[in-house]
């Protein structure tokens, strides 16, 4: 089935949040101990308004217009307070694929769109904070594992993750 990738707009917030909710609650839970996601998921499944209107965040739509994937990139890290911006380093942000669409090219289409647009903006490599269940996908897209990383979601809330890098776009 043909897919289309387009930049998001503010009006996509509900569709993106709905997708994040179904994806993260279904696909992430097997990689974490029972209850580990209870506190962080409510914060993680909300569409980020700044990403939605950045021109660097995208949805993948099936031919009937159904949103089956989302994701994007930024020059800022998700934990932007950590380091200054490096204009040659992009950060993969808030990726999700509907569980019924996994392994059907949705994530690869998003990565390819991110690569094309980031390369045009002068980015030469990508960094990614991947969930514990997403490492294999990112490796299939040219990323390599740097090691474990605890990502701070909010005060006192962290989620075990993987720090990954793609050295060339």
pLDDT digits (tens, 9 = 90+) for 71-125: 999 999 887 656 678 999 999 999 999 999 999 999 999 999 999 999 999 999 9
Is the pLDDT confidence value at 169 over 70?
A: yes
Q: Which two tokens stand for residue 5?
A: 């990738």
Is 30 inside a domain boundary? yes
Is 145 inside a domain boundary? no
Is 166 inside a domain boundary? no
Is 92 inside a domain boundary? yes
- At 15 the pLDDT is 97
- At 32 the pLDDT is 92
Closest CA to 60 of 89, 29, 95: 95
Is 74 inside a domain boundary? yes
Q: What integer is the mean pLDDT of 47-56?
A: 96
Q: Please tell me the pTM assigned to this model.
A: 0.93
Most confident of 5-9, 29-33, 157-161: 5-9
Strands (E), 25-156: 57-61, 67-74, 89-97, 125-130, 144-154
Distances (CA, A) of 46 to 16, 40, 51: 8, 11, 11
Q: What percent of the chain has pLDDT over 90?
A: 82
Q: What is the CATH number of the domain that holds 96?
A: 3.40.630.30
Is 113 inside a domain boundary? yes
Is 159 inside a domain boundary? no
Is the pLDDT confidence value at 139 over 80?
A: yes
Q: What integer is the mean pLDDT of 1-28?
A: 95
- At 80 the pLDDT is 63
Domain containing residue 97 = 4-124
**Structural domain count, the chain:** 1
Is 164 inside a domain boundary? no
């Amino acid at each position: 089935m043909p897919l289309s990738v387009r930049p998001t707009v503010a009006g996509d917030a509900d569709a993106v949040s709905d997708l994040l909710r179904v994806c993260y609650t279904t696909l992430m839970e097997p990689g974490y101990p029972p209850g580990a996601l209870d506190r962080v998921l409510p914060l993680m499944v909300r569409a980020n308004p700044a990403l939605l209107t950045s021109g660097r965040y995208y949805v993948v739509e099936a031919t009937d217009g159904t949103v089956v994937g989302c994701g994007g990139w930024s020059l800022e890290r998700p934990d932007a307070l950590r380091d200054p911006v490096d204009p040659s380093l992009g950060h993969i942000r808030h990726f999700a694929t509907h569980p019924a669409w996994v392994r059907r090219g949705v994530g690869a289409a998003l990565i390819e769109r991110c690569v094309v647009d980031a390369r045009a903006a002068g980015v030469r490599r990508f960094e990614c904070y991947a969930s514990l269940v997403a490492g294999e996908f990112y490796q299939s897209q040219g990323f390599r594992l740097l090691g474990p990383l605890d990502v701070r979601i909010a005060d006192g809330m962290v989620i075990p993750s993987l720090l990954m890098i793609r050295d060339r776009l």
